[in-house]
Amino acid sequence: MISIEACPFCRIVADLEPARIVRRWNDATAFFPQNPATLGHLLVIPNDHFDDVWSLDSSTASRLSLYVLEIANAVKAALVPDGMNFINSNGAAATQTIFHVHIHVVPRWKNDRMGAIWPEDKVWKESDLDETFTSIARELGI
């Protein structure tokens, strides 16, 4: 188990680190990150420490989804953005830098400083797509 000192998000939950907390539930917290990508950018985290989505139990994952929706609705009503991203990175290769599962709720406006989040179009070979589909479908029992 990770110590509170080692995880900045655990420190926020324990009120050992300052944060602009907008909502606390019994099992989760929503707050502004230190360097928001846009105004209104929030993080939603479970209060218990989970490194990534693969370590979440289904009950916690379900509740986090409901909390993200609640926060997204509040941000939409308060700021009237043109759109919104929900971002969850898992693992260093996916740009996760704090290993406490968190969902970014990022309001977006035309021409904001975020820019595009998808790579240029890539034309995949049909054989690669078929092989990938088959591998995932097999894991799902299809």
Element (H, E) at 67: helix 58-79
Measure the CA angle with vertex 20, ends 62 and 61; round to 5°.
10
Indicate if 102 belongs to the active site: yes
Supply the DSSP string of 30-46, one letter for each residue: EE--SS-SSTT-EEEEE
Report the distance separating Cα 98 and Cα 102, nearest Å.
9
49, 100, 102, 104: the active-site residue: 102
Report the distance separating Cα 102 and Cα 41, nearest Å.
12
Cβ-contact 64, 53 below 8 angstroms: no
Longest Cα separation, the chain: 52
- Which residues does the annotation mark as catalytic? 102
